Structure 1
Amino acid sequence: MTGGARFTVDVRVKGDTLVLALGGELDHDSAGALRDALTEGLSTAATRIVVDCKDLTFCDSTGLNVLLRGRLAAQDAGVGLELAALRPPVARMFDITGADAVFRLYGSLDEALIGRPQE
């Protein structure tokens, strides 16, 4: 687990999927922990990365940019980067910015692991 007191990234492997479970507030001060986890994740044998946002309570523009850049880096590496369980305040940020259109979104981590996207 990495991050500060206000933000955590728990990294675990589920088959060929790397799960990054985020907790707390993703902002300018904490985005480095996510950036590092994404970079390390791309150096593994995972064919996809699922970012579990169930415990993510806040995401500012810096956090959003880390996720967007991570998605592009993953795409370049032939790895899918997908999001699961966006809470309403975080989902609103993605909706307002249109970022929800570039990520595959899942209602829960379980749905992501079986590949059932949110409608």
Structure 2
Amino acid sequence: MDSDTGRTTGRLTVSAHPWESGVLVRPDGELDHETAEPLERALHAARTAGPGGRTVVDCEGLLFCDSTGLNLLLNARSAAREGGGDLVLARPAPMVARMLEVTGTQEVFEVYGTLDEALAGPGGR
């Protein structure tokens, strides 16, 4: 990772770190309709920085995520795949893991238990 950009809005901080195969995005705090914009911008930038790249969203620091945040992640995944890339989730915090389970979206996303596995890509599980 050779650069780092950070954005803060209210209760959410988002940093993005380019790496050889894509971008690592780290949201920290509470993701809801009032705080989603920085993550939306970071995911859009990741997708447009290198079409076909892999975006890893490190969810370890997400303390809360409502339906707005979930929809944002689902839409970003769809957009990444349309561009020949992918978006995966790593290290979901307990609240995020529960939300994925309750909504059934853990079947939609590739979810990795460790950041190393997510960065390694398919087969790295």
Note the aligned Cα RMSD (angstroms): 1.1
Report the residue type matching 2:40 in the other structure: R
What is the total number of aligned residue pairs between the two structures?
Answer: 117
Which whole-Å CA distance do the structure 2 matches of 1:9 and 1:70 have between them? 15
**% of aligned pairs identical?**
44
Q: 1: distance between equivalents of 2:94 and 2:78? A: 24
1:80-95 alignment, distance < 5 Å: 80-95=86-101
Q: TM-score, normalised by structure 1?
A: 0.93
**Distance in 1 between the 2:60 and 2:114 partners?**
8
Residue of structure 2 aligned with 1:6, choices 7, 11, 16? 11
Q: Deviating runs (4+, > 4 A) in structure 1?
A: none
Query: What does residue range 38-77 of structure 1 map to in structure 2 within 5 Å?
Result: 38-45=43-50, 47-77=53-83
| 5+ long unaligned stretches in structure 1 | none
Distance 2:26 2:43 in 1: 12
TM-score normalised by structure 2 residue count: 0.89
Deviation at 1:3, TM superposition (A): 2.6
Q: Which stretch shifts more, 8-17 or 80-89?
A: 8-17
